[in-house]
């Protein structure tokens, strides 16, 4: 009986620690993306284009990568590492065949942006995000933090781009 009580108390303690950790890592604010405490940037949809891409495979998206003013300046001056305050936004839409456009050509060849998938951000703050080389990561869906985002996987996955300060996207001339 004593053992069972001990186990129950231990389990409750562990659960409490997990809950506290979750709260400390940003869950408390429902408008912030958890873990890195990043809020949706006002006006990001009007930022200039860094580049565009098509991710096939499981992603199956068309994407635009946009930058705030500091990001654009750093890209154009080829400044590395990116300075604190840099924000890079990745907007993704479902890769969608366009029947309407294809009528112009003699075969299916036109693929356009369908429904929005999500918006991801990389935010440079060398102090706040010192543990991830200065980068914070966030994912929003329909204007709200996406609770399904596995943000702890972002930085490990960006390792191959270390030579470009962990950013995959290069500037499209």
- 66 DSSP β-pair partners: 49, 89
CB of 143 to a copy of itself, least distance (A): 10
Choose among 72, 41, 58: nearest CA to 169: 72
- Binding mask 24-43 vs a copy of itself (x if CB under 8 A, - otherwise)? --------------------
Q: Which residues of 45-83 are buried (b: 16+ CB within 10 A; e: fewer)?
A: eebeebbeeeeeeeeebbbbbbbbebbbebbeeeeebbe
- Binding mask 113-132 vs a copy of itself (x if CB under 8 A, - otherwise)? x-xx----------------
DSSP 62: E
Instruction: Determine if 57 is a binding residue for a copy of itself (CB under 8 A).
Output: yes
| Whether residue 81 has a cis bond before it, omega within 30° of 0 | yes
Out of 75, 95, 137, 140, the only residue in the binding site for a copy of itself (CB under 8 A) is 95
Where do contacts with a copy of itself occur on this chain (CB under 8 A)? 45-49, 51-57, 59, 62-64, 66, 72, 91, 93, 95, 98, 100-101, 103-105, 107, 109-113, 115-116, 157, 160-161, 168-170, 172-173
């Amino acid at each position: 009986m004593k053992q069972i009580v001990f186990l129950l108390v231990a389990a409750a303690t562990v659960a409490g620690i997990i809950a506290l950790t979750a709260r400390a890592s940003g869950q408390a604010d429902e408008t912030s993306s958890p873990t890195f405490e990043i809020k949706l940037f006002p006006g990001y949809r009007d930022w200039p284009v860094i580049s565009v891409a098509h991710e096939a495979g499981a992603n199956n998206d068309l994407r635009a990568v946009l930058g705030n003013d500091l990001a654009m300046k750093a890209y154009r001056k080829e400044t590395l590492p990116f300075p604190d305050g840099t924000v890079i936004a990745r907007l993704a839409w479902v890769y969608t065949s366009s029947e309407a456009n294809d009528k112009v050509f003699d075969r299916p060849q036109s693929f356009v942006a369908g429904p929005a998938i999500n918006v991801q951000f990389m935010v440079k703050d060398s102090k706040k995000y010192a543990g991830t080389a200065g980068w914070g990561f966030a994912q929003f869906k329909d204007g709200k933090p996406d609770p399904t985002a596995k943000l702890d996987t972002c930085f490990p996955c960006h390792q191959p781009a270390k030579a470009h300060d962990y950013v995959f996207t290069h500037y499209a001339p």
